[in-house]
Structure 1
């Protein structure tokens, strides 16, 4: 069995490699060559933590495994560690034997950013110039860096419940040589693309905060009860997702479905657009929304790739297990 520790991931995995892995696995899911297992995600009653398991099997890529971990909201303030903690375990699909254990913290950030970036590539208008960020935490910086590679953006605008965190994304804008402006939520009407990446349990972005032609990537809702946007926005938009079943149960669509505003049949897998089975955006005025719930197959795809790189470069630790 191989071990690829967290400390070496940054030197192995790139945004480009994560994007390629996630795009391919979304396509495999839509082609029914890969499927996710039911998610376990629970509040453990300690440290206000959410903990769970996401797994699946990619028949096309012969990748089998799971990610274990979750969200510890007090880690940063108490211990100087990031709040999201996870580990990916891969198994040989031919034998069931353990194949690899991989640090999942950076990979989670990269694969989450890759998912919204893939949605921007396939759904945002080609002439998108302004990108809006809702959320300015650790994950938001990864989101913005990946998104800026998909269009010729000219400006970044941002809102965060705690404005003192906005310099996090302002710094990323500065790295890219772009101006940054802090706005109120109604200022998001100026955005052509909006990424929402928060841990909120109450909607922030309302339907009237979004202009015609905008693409929205909702990336923070991955648990029962979480919510980032107004359910009316999902009625207004053409909604795409990584996996429909997960979207309507623990994703952003859970609220609109529960209120009877939309049905599961109204959602489309993003992989269908990648495969050419769905046209994606139909007009420049159409609002598109990607409900990125974070599927186990994303984690397995990027973990499998990093194991390949680690073995090739002689960095992986091999143990008898």
Structure 2
């Protein structure tokens, strides 16, 4: 049998704490060589595109994929999880909310392992969409935040974000009138936009900051200029192979010879302890998030297991074939 979970049912179960734990778990396994992750592939469809990414975690007995079609009619995300030994399709999860939360969780784990120690951080957020909400929520889940500020181009959007996140996290979040005002005094910077031109410039980055850049997951998008990338002493991404074809921030810096791909780390190596996230408090650290399938299958399996325990979801007919039955 296959368990199907709607967006609402996933939302009943999934919390940021669960996602942080699941994402840290899978990145540690990735760093130890226990996870297989395949980069996103895309099929252009004129007014839209089909996107597919997959991953396997043999030690956990799971393999699966995330797929979605985005276009003028909207966007729809699904995660499919299979048993790794031929047990069949274990679950189908609608995954819009899950994508938002697991993307935030990846930045939270990067912050935990790469940001300099601080008891009272100030966070600057550039971008005010739904993804920006889970980014700040995740950082708040791993770090004590004293204050946060947000900047986006539309005053109404940044004011709304500040109000919602102040109430949700019970910390003061203020709207800034410019990027420079937003960055003032920040030791953690979140950039989560759909910009095609850099919004965070190297000249604006102070000593010791940590940057989570989570919006530039396509070659046509830019969030950081090349100086900002070069200024970073430690650069990590969720999957270097995927970053080489998707992360325009890093692609531009590498193509111009300002960085070498060999110096870009997989976040898994940092979480597993193979490489340090930083070696001193003055370093600038950068996490470029692309969003990868191993995050989806790890979080998705946790949600499926809880759903089965609680009797949530709809059981669909079907399953695998017994070995030797072909």
TM-score by length of 2: 0.90
Larger Rg: 2
Q: What whole-Å deviation, never above 9, does each CA across 1:231-269 have from its counterpart, x for those lacking one? A: 221111010111111122202322212222112101112
How far apart are residue 23 of structure 1 and its match? 0.6
User: Measured at CA, do residues 289 and 262 of structure 1 come closer, stay the same or move farther in structure 2, by a change above 3 Å?
Assistant: same
Aligned 8 A contact 1:28 1:60 in 2: no
Tell me the SS of whatever aligns to 1:222. Answer: coil
How far apart are residue 168 of structure 1 and its match? 3.5
Aligned 8 A contact 2:253 2:259 in 1: yes
Aligned 8 A contact 2:201 2:225 in 1: yes
Matched with 2:239 is: 243
User: Measured at CA, do residues 157 and 50 of structure 1 come closer, stay the same or move farther in structure 2, by a change above 3 Å?
Assistant: farther
Aligned partners of 1:5, 1:109: CA distance in 2, in Å?
Answer: 15
How far apart are residue 50 of structure 1 and its match? 4.1
Q: What whole-Å deviation, never above 9, does each CA across 1:44-76 have from its counterpart, x for those lacking one? A: 222xx343011111123222011011544774x
Matched with 2:104 is: 113
Q: What whole-Å deviation, never above 9, does each CA across 1:128-167 have from its counterpart, x for those lacking one? A: 5210001001111111112112222111111112232113
Aligned partners of 2:191, 2:49: CA distance in 1, in Å?
Answer: 20
Tell me the SS of whatever aligns to 1:113. Answer: helix
Q: What whole-Å deviation, never above 9, does each CA across 1:265-300 have from its counterpart, x for those lacking one? A: 011122222111112111111000001111111111
Q: What whole-Å deviation, never above 9, does each CA across 1:191-245 have from its counterpart, x for those lacking one? A: 1101111112211100011111000001111122211111221111010111111
Aligned 8 A contact 2:238 2:292 in 1: yes
Q: Number of aligned residue pairs: give it.
A: 311
Matched with 1:80 is: none
Matching residue within 282, 288, 291 for 2:285:
288
Is 1:172 the equivalent of 2:165? yes
Tell me the SS of whatever aligns to 1:64. Answer: strand
Q: Which runs of 5+ in 2 are unaligned?
A: 319-326
Tell me the SS of whatever aligns to 2:66. Answer: strand
Aligned partners of 2:218, 2:87: CA distance in 1, in Å?
Answer: 29
Aligned partners of 2:45, 2:210: CA distance in 1, in Å?
Answer: 35
Aligned 8 A contact 1:189 1:210 in 2: no
TM-score by length of 1: 0.92
Aligned 8 A contact 1:245 1:264 in 2: no
User: Measured at CA, do residues 73 and 235 of structure 1 come closer, stay the same or move farther in structure 2, by a change above 3 Å?
Assistant: farther
How far apart are residue 42 of structure 1 and its match? 4.2
Aligned partners of 2:5, 2:272: CA distance in 1, in Å?
Answer: 32
Aligned 8 A contact 1:189 1:211 in 2: no
Aligned 8 A contact 1:135 1:160 in 2: yes
Is 1:207 the equivalent of 2:206? no
Aligned partners of 2:132, 2:242: CA distance in 1, in Å?
Answer: 22
Q: Report matched runs for 1:80-99 at 5 Å.
A: 85-95=76-86, 97-99=88-90
Is 1:184 the equivalent of 2:153? no
User: Measured at CA, do residues 38 and 204 of structure 1 come closer, stay the same or move farther in structure 2, by a change above 3 Å?
Assistant: same
How far apart are residue 100 of structure 1 and its match? 1.2
